[in-house]
Structures are given as C-alpha cells and as structure tokens.
Amino acid sequence: MNDHRLATDTDDGLVLIISGPSGAGKTTITRGVERSIPGSVFSVSCTTRAKTEADVEGVDYHFVSDEEFERLRASGEFLESAGVYGKKYGTPRAWVHEQIKRGRLVILEIDVQGAVQVKKHLPDAFAIFILPPSEDELLARLQSRKRESEALIAARFAAAKSEIASARASGVYDVFLVNADLDEAIARAVDLVVSERRRRRETRAAVRTP
C-alpha cells in the first residue's frame, strides 16, 4: 500500500459516509460539512437518473447512460453501486482511493446499500445517518417541497421509513444524528468528524511512540 507514496500523501485521509432519507436535510448537511472542513472533497457519483434543472454535471453527479454505467461496473470502476428508485448510482473507486492517500476527508453521500458495501471494503470509514426529528416532521418536510405529487410524496415517505429501519438494522452507522435545526446539525456533524480525526491521529501517534 505504501509503495507509491508521494510527498503530498498523509495518513489523515478519512472516508465520511452521510446517509439519510429524502427530506432529512442530508444534502444541505453534506455540503455544510464540506464547506466547514478544509481539505474535504465531495465524491461525485455516476448515476443513470435524469438530470434535473437543479443538477450540475460533474458537481452533483456524472450523468451516464445505462450502457456506460454497466460498462463501468463491469470493469470494476465502482467502490460500491446500488439501485435507488429504479435508477443506478455508483461511487468512483480510483478517485476515492486517490483522495484518501492525499489525506483528504472524502465525503460520500450514499444510501444504506452503498454504505454497507463501502464499510466492507473500507472498515475505517466513518458513517453518519441523518434522522428527521419525527415521522410527522418528515412528512411535513416532504409535503412542503411542493415539487411532487401526493402519490410520490406518499411513496417517498414509505421509502424513508424503510430506509431508516434498514439503516438501524445494518449496523454500519457510527452515529444517528437528528436534524431538528440545520445549523446545529451541521455543527454537530463537523464536531463529530473533527473529534474522530483527532482521536485517530492520537491513536496513530501512540502506536508510533514506544
């Protein structure tokens, strides 16, 4: 693993997984953590879902065809991949490994299926699951976005509840963080990551010092 180290490589690299149901505020929290922690990078996934007006190619996702996605998956380009709402999503393996070597905080905003796969390959990854304060609040948030039909909102609500249940059952999350207030949730997530990195740095130093 250490054969090809560059002068810029450090041991400080950490993979941060952030998951949570739609409507829990996960994307805002993810971007808040990225802005607050110097040297952090957001992993841009490949997806087969359609690009919306809010999406920027190469910033939010790499939008690819189904054929391209399958070609990438077959050639082992993904660290993990999963089907979400009938569309495919995958995390670029080589890029993530490169960033870890550079000592970056590599943020993966992925679902529970993806988190389980990443933890299998990278057990040191730190995983946070964002929870809404309550089911009623989650439903209210999904309804307030007004961009979706009642049927779609009901489907997202059911999916959110089952995502929370599978996150709890998966055993891969280090922390379940309740988002009652966005600024507080971002501050708490930043604090958790900073403390975790410091703890790991101290453990490494203690191992090196006889």
Residue of this chain nearest to ligand 5GP (CB atom): 114
With CA atoms as reference, report the closest residue to 205 among 22, 9, 11.
Answer: 11
**Residue 134 to residues 63, 77, 110, 179, Cα–Cα distance (Å):** 33, 38, 22, 10
What letter would DSSP give residue 9?
-
* Residues 91, 98: Cα–Cα separation, whole Å: 13
> Pick from 96, 109, 127, 186: which binds ligand 5GP (CB under 6 A)?
109
Return the residue matching tokens 């808040």. Answer: 32
| Nearest to ligand 5GP of 5, 83 (CB atom) | 83
Site residues for ligand 5GP, 14-73, by CB under 6 A, read: 45, 49
| Nearest to ligand 5GP of 37, 129 (CB atom) | 129
Tell me the window of 62-70, 105-113, 183-191, 198-206 that interacts with ligand 5GP (CB under 6 A): 105-113
* Residues 176, 189: Cα–Cα separation, whole Å: 10
> Pick from 14, 23, 40, 91: which binds ligand 5GP (CB under 6 A)?
91
Tell me the window of 97-105, 109-117, 143-151, 193-201 that interacts with ligand 5GP (CB under 6 A): 109-117
Neighbours of 93 (CB within 10 A): 16
* Residues 36, 13: Cα–Cα separation, whole Å: 16
Tell me the window of 9-17, 63-71, 89-97, 165-173 that interacts with ligand 5GP (CB under 6 A): 89-97
Tell me the window of 7-15, 65-73, 103-111, 189-197 that interacts with ligand 5GP (CB under 6 A): 103-111
Q: Where are the alpha helices (DSSP H) in 45-134?
A: 66-74, 93-101, 112-121
Q: How many residues bind ligand 5GP (CB under 6 A)?
A: 13
| Nearest to ligand 5GP of 84, 178 (CB atom) | 84
What letter would DSSP give residue 132?
-
Q: Which residues lie near ligand 5GP (CB under 6 A)?
A: 45, 49, 80, 82, 84, 89-91, 109-111, 113-114
